[in-house]
A and B are shown apart, each in its own frame.
Chain A
Amino acid sequence: MAVCVAVIAKENYPLYIRSSPTENELKFHYMVHTSLDVVDEKISAMGKALVDQRELYLGLLYPTEDHKVYPSYLLCRYGYVTNSKVKFVMVVDSSNTALRDNEIRSMFRKLHSSYTDVMCNPFYNPGDRIQSRAFDSMVTSMMVQVC
């Protein structure tokens, strides 16, 4: 179950960021921001090597101890870069179900195709925040997927 989804533009500012409302949002914003450094490293390391476009990586994996009496989450960060250098970062809670590689890939593919749909909207100016309802509902469906 995705806990936070972010779309970051080429210039590294967020086009869309949404986290599950039960948690402190600032914490997730911070996590996404720190994972951008790792994403940039991976991009520059790709260089001339023939690497798959989908850079699927396990970010810093650490359990967060909540102040409340909730069980501690196992939060994994995943990244994905498109040909136009737009980055998707997803934070998932994998303490309940171990999400398989394929599921994460398919979630990113859905994100990519929804983002492409937003781009093709002639009323959308590239570089603006994403305010499309279709995109919102797709992200909502990803966030309450496995509960």
Chain B
Amino acid sequence: MSLCVLEGMGFRVGQALGERLPQETLAFREELDVLKFLCKDLWVAVFQKQMDSLRTNHQGTYVLQDNSFPLLIRMASGLQYLEEAPKFLTFTCGLLRGTLSTLGIKSLVTASVASLPTCKFQVVIQKT
């Protein structure tokens, strides 16, 4: 229940950032440009580093991988928190979803943690 609220907060912040950050840039020509913007400009603005890798299956699913996610670094010393880690990523999922929605893309974002502090965000574009 509270995870929904957290994700919702991230969504609203993402919407505002999606308006503020691309202000001086030119129009995005396609989805991939928007995703690249997320990986570079958004991540740098929020976490002061770029996303480490972006992969796609060219059918509407993108996997964004961050090898040393700042919010997880403190928990990274052992395997103790591996199961709890995704809960800490809900706000960031909401953030990504909000920014995408301002830029015109409806999506579903989920996070997964294989080994701390690496985490993957999976973005699935909803085709209407």
> Which residues of A are interface residues toward B (Cβ below 8 A)?
10, 46, 48, 50-53, 81-85, 112-113, 115-116, 119-120, 122, 126
Contact = CB atoms under 8 A, between A and B. Distances in A.
Interface in B69-109: 102-104
A83 B15 contact: no
Nearest to A124: B16
Given A84-B103, A84-B104, A85-B104, A120 B19 contact: yes
Given A83-B103, A85-B104, A122-B12, A53 B20 contact: no
Report the contact-size class of chain B (Cβ under 8 Å from the partner): 10 to 19
Q: Chain A contact residues: over half helix, strand or loop, or mixed?
A: loop
Contacts of B18: 83-84
Contact of A53 (B27, B30, B102): B27
16 contacts: A48-B29, A50-B26, A53-B26, A53-B27, A81-B27, A82-B19, A82-B23, A83-B27, A83-B103, A84-B19, A112-B23, A113-B23, A119-B15, A119-B20, A126-B15, A126-B102
B75 to A, nearest CB: 28
Contacts of B103: 83-84
Interface string B43-72: 000000000000000000000000000000
Nearest to A119: B19
B30 to A, nearest CB: 8
A81 B102 CA distance: 13
Nearest to A113: B23
B25 interface: yes
B104 A10 contact: yes
A120 B20 contact: yes
Contacts of A116: 19-20, 23
Given A84-B102, A84-B103, A85-B104, A53 B16 contact: no
A115 B28 CA distance: 19
